[in-house]
Amino acid sequence: MNTRNSSNPSSPSIDETTGEYATFARVQVDRWRDGQRETVEDVVAEEVPIALEYNGISHAVMMATPADLEDFALGFSLTEGILASPGELYECDIVPGCEGVQVQMRIATERFVALKEKRRNLTGRTGCGLCGAETLEQAVRHPQAVQGGAGFTVAQVHAAFEQMQVGQQLQQATGATHAAAWMDAAGRIVLVREDVGRHNALDKLIGALAEEKTDFSQGAAIITSRASYEMVQKAATVGIGFIAAVSAPTALAIRLAEETDVTLLGFVRKQGHVVYARPHRLR
């Protein structure tokens, strides 16, 4: 891949072959092994500021991998409660800027009015779902309980983590990204999204699924990160009733999963797993 950069370090590299933003860069590094130094080329993930704008007004700036940004925009809008359905997003334009990338969205008027009433400054760290919330009520939302939901066997859940590795090409190249994958009701991994931020990866997955009019109750979110409160909150907001994570949840995430009837698994590894909340969907 041939890439070019502007003089601004915040500007993403451009893949000269495709004209799209590069998701990784090649850098020279000194690698030390057994006390010996070797200068080699390494592959590192790109991370750029992504400004989300609604009807001409800037709402949030997130640090993210510059790929699948249309999915990210829709997913973020749904999981943050800005939109109630994909049809309320009328336009989405990806605009390169000297400091990063602008995602310019036009949404339904009533949704924009509601957004202005609860507007918050969310500029923050990588994929930070709560940065800048002005009140405790804004930070700790309580989605409605998930209705119904597909069930899965232990074997299907463990197999899903093996299957999703095929779609983690950026992680395999850089070792720096999280992934969120969708397991359908038949136990198959049908979609994977990656990002340097775990919340972003889940938002990208949800946005892509929403665009395809996926029934969120008929599947599971498989994530290669810890299950934080925000991850459970985002999933429950759109009606996902099953989350399996490779690492631990937080106590607040467990309480929210119980409250919203989300089956929550953590520490899913080859040797086993832990069920933290609502085990009735696990067969």
Confidence band, pLDDT 50/70/90 cuts, at residue 4: very low
Cα dist from 162 to 106, 154, 158, whole Å: 39, 13, 7
Beta bridge partners of 105: 54, 92
The pLDDT assigned to 14 comes to 72
C-beta separation of 272 from 255 below 8 A: no
Half-sphere CA count of 162, side-chain side, radius 13 A: 7
CA dihedral 56, 205, 25, 38 (to 10 degrees): 150
* Inter-residue long-range contacts of 108-114, CB under 8 Å, 24+ positions, other chains counted: 108/83, 111/82, 111/83, 111/84, 112/54, 112/55
In tens, the pLDDT along 26-68 reads: 999 999 999 999 999 999 999 999 999 999 999 999 999 999 9
What number of other Cβ atoms are within 10 A of residue 123's Cβ? 16
CA nearest neighbour of 188 among 215, 149, 157, 146: 157
Q: What is the mean pLDDT of residues 5-22?
A: 65
Number of residues assigned to the chain = 283
Tell me the DSSP string of 2-29.
-EE--SSTTSPPEETTTSSBPSEEEEEE
Q: What pLDDT score was predicted for residue 132? A: 45
User: Chain-wide mean pLDDT for the chain?
Assistant: 91
Query: 160 and 189 in contact (C-beta within 8 Å)?
Result: yes
The better pLDDT of the pair 245, 132 is held by 245
**Lowest-confidence range among 53-57, 125-129, 272-276?**
125-129
* pLDDT at 124 exceeding the cut of 70: no
Tell me, rounded to whole angstroms, the distance of Cα 44 from its chain centroid: 19
Q: Can you give the pTM of this predicted structure?
A: 0.90
Task: Tell me which residue of 42, 2, 52, 39 sits closest to 22, measured CA to CA.
Answer: 2
Q: Which domains, ranges and CATH numbers included, belong to the chain?
A: 154-281 (3.40.140.10)
pLDDT confidence bin for 130, thresholds 50/70/90: low
pLDDT tens-digit profile of 165-217?
A: 999 999 999 999 999 999 999 999 999 999 999 999 999 999 999 999 999 99
pLDDT value of residue 245 = 99
Which tokens belong to 175? Answer: 């070792």
* Angle between helical axes of 229-238 and 69-79 (0-180°, round to 10): 90
Instruction: Determine the pLDDT at residue 127.
Output: 53
What's residue 96's pLDDT? Answer: 84
User: Could you list the active site residues?
Assistant: 128
Contact indicator for 152, 183 with CB cutoff of 8 Å: yes
Q: What is the mean pLDDT of residues 71-80?
A: 98
Q: Which of 122-126, 212-216, 257-261 is least confident? A: 122-126
